Amino acid sequence: MTKKLFFVLALLLFASSMLCAQTPGGAAAESPFDLHPVAAGIAMAIASGLCGLGQGKAIASSVEGMGRNPGASAAIQTAMLIGLAFIESLALYTLLIVVLYIK
Amino acid sequence: MQESELWITRIFNDRFSSLGNAALQLVGIHPQARPWANYILMELVVFLFLALLFAFLRARLSVSAPGRLQQTCELFYGFVSGQAESQMGHASARYLSFFGTIFIFILVANMIGLVPVFESPTKYAPVTLGCAMATFIYYNLMGIWTHGFKYILQFMGPKWWLAILMFPVEIVSHLARPLSLTIRLYANMFAGEQVTLVFISLTYLAVPVVFMGLHLFVGLVQAFIFMLLTISYVAGSVSHGH
C-alpha cells in the first residue's frame, strides 16, 4: 500500500514538470490568483506541523524520564527546554523566509 | 527602513544627527537625513543600563554583608559559571567574562522590548549578527591563542588522509554557526513581537499579555541558548582532545 502510494506520488512529481512546461513565460506573475500567500501558508503549515511533532516527541520522552526518575527532574527539565528551543528555531527559520520573500 | 521612531530616536535624530553622520562616515556610509536607527540607540540604552548597574554594584561590593543586588548578581554568576564548568571544566575561568557578558547583554536586550517605550534591539538582524560575529571571532581567537597555528589542525579531522574531505565540511559547519546563532535569536524576537502585534490588532485587551509573557520566557530561553552555544563552541576550540 505504501509502495503504491509512493509510486503514485513519484509519478505525479515527474508528470508535474511536464504539465507545467506547457505555459512558458512565467504564469506566476500573470495568474489571476495571487499564489504568494498560499505558498506562505503551506510552508508555514508544514514547518509548524513537523515542529509540533518533533517537540511532542521531545516532551513525551522527557516527561516519561521524569516519571521514572523524579529526582532528576531539574536536569531533565533543563535538557527539555534546550531541546525545545532548538526545534522551535527550525520553524522560525521558515517564518523568516516567509516574511522575507512574501510582500 | 524603520517604520516608526521611538521617542529617544526622535530626540537623537533632531539634535545629534551630525554626530550620527560623523560616526557613519567613519565606516564610509554617506550622510543621511536621520542617521540614528532605533536599534543603535536601544543597544546604547542597554549598555548604559548595564554599565550603571554594575558601577552601582561595584561601589557596594562587600564580602561580609552582601546586599540584595550583590546576591542577585552572584546568582547570575553562579549560573553562568556552573554552565561553563559543566562543559569546559576548570579552564572556563578565563572565558567566563565573555560568556557572562553575552548572556547578560542578550537577556537585557530581549527583556527591554517589554517595557512600553523601548523595543528590543535584538529584533533586528544587524544586532544579532553583531552578537554572533562577536562569538565567532572570540572562539576562533581563543582557539588560536591556545593552540597557536596548530589550531588549523582541528579542521583536518582525526586522520591525515581524511583532511581533504574534512576541511570543506568543517569550514562550512563553522560558517553555519554564526548564521544559525543570528537567525535563531532574530527570528525568535521578531516572531514574538509580530505575534503580540497580531493579537493586539485582533483582540484589544488582555490576550496580548499572554503573548508578552511567552515573549518574556522565549527571550530568557534564547539568551540562555546563545550562551550555551557560545560555551560549547569555545569548549570545542580550546579543547586538547583532538
- Residue ranges of domains in chain B: 1-36, 39-238
Spelled out in words, what is the top-level CATH class assigned to the domain A34-103? Answer: mainly alpha
Does residue B106 or residue A74 have the better pLDDT?
A: B106
| pLDDT for position B108 | 95
> Cβ contacts (< 8 Å) between B184 and chain A: which residues?
89, 92
- This prediction's pTM: 0.83
| pLDDT for position A26 | 47
| pLDDT for position A29 | 54
Q: CB under 8 Å to B11, separation ≥6 — which residues?
A: none
Does residue B56 or residue B9 have the better pLDDT?
A: B56
Q: Could you tell me how far CA B189 lies from the centroid of its own chain?
A: 12
Asked if residue B113 lies in contact with residue B66, where contact means CB atoms within 8 angstroms, the answer is no
| pLDDT for position B177 | 92
Cα angle B138, A97, A57 (rounded to 5 degrees) comes to 80
Phi-psi region of A83 (alpha: psi -120 to 50; beta: other; left: phi over 0): alpha
- Give the nearest partner residue to B187 out of A81, A86, A96, using CB atoms: A96
Instruction: Count interface pairs A-B at CB distance under 8 A.
Output: 29
Could you tell me which chain A residue has the CA closest to the CA of B227?
Answer: A82
Shortest CA gap B88–chain A (Å): 18
Q: How far is CA B170 from CA A90, B174, B241, in A?
A: 21, 6, 16
Could you tell me which chain A residue has the CA closest to the CA of B185?
Answer: A89
| pLDDT for position A22 | 53
CB-side neighbour CA atoms (13 Å) of B108? 17
- Residue ranges of domains in chain A: 34-103
Whether residues A85 and B190 touch (CB distance < 8 A) is answered with no
- Residues B154-194 pLDDT 10s: 888 778 788 888 888 889 999 999 999 999 999 999 888 88
Q: How far is CA B79 from CA A62, B82, B96, B170, B228, in A?
A: 22, 5, 11, 31, 11
Whether residue A15 has pLDDT greater than 90: no
| pLDDT for position B11 | 82
Task: Look at residues B56, B64, B50, B15 and name the one whose alpha carbon lies nearest to residue B35.
Answer: B15
For residues B60-85, give the mean pLDDT. 89
Q: CB under 8 Å to B137, separation ≥6 — which residues?
A: none
Whether residues B183 and A96 touch (CB distance < 8 A) is answered with yes
Does residue B80 or residue B117 have the better pLDDT?
A: B80
Whether residue B1 has pLDDT greater than 70: no
Q: What are B68's three cell numbers?
A: 540584595
DSSP-assigned letters across all residues of A55-80: HHHHHHHHHHHHHH-GGGHHHHHHHH
Other Cβ atoms less than 10 A from the Cβ of B59: the count is: 7
Looking at the complex, does the CB of residue B183 fall below 8 Å from at least one CB of chain A? yes
> Cβ contacts (< 8 Å) between B190 and chain A: which residues?
96, 99
- Give the nearest partner residue to A81 out of B183, B191, B221, using CB atoms: B221
- What value of ipTM does the predicted structure carry? 0.71
> Cβ contacts (< 8 Å) between A92 and chain B: which residues?
183-184, 187-188, 191
Could you tell me which chain B residue has the CA closest to the CA of A96?
Answer: B187
Task: Look at residues B133, B72, B108 and name the one whose alpha carbon lies nearest to residue B222.
Answer: B108
Whether residue B60 has pLDDT greater than 50: yes
Whether residues A89 and B186 touch (CB distance < 8 A) is answered with no
- Residues A37-84 pLDDT 10s: 899 999 999 999 999 999 999 999 999 999 999 999 988 998 998 899
Whether residues A92 and B187 touch (CB distance < 8 A) is answered with yes
- Give the nearest partner residue to A93 out of B183, B221, B225, using CB atoms: B183
Whether residues A93 and B187 touch (CB distance < 8 A) is answered with yes
Crossing angle of the two packed helices B207-238 and B96-111, in degrees rounded to 10: 160
> Cβ contacts (< 8 Å) between B195 and chain A: which residues?
none
Using a 10 angstrom Cβ sphere, with 0-12 exposed, 13-18 middle and 19 or more buried, the burial of residue B160 is exposed
| pLDDT for position B4 | 67
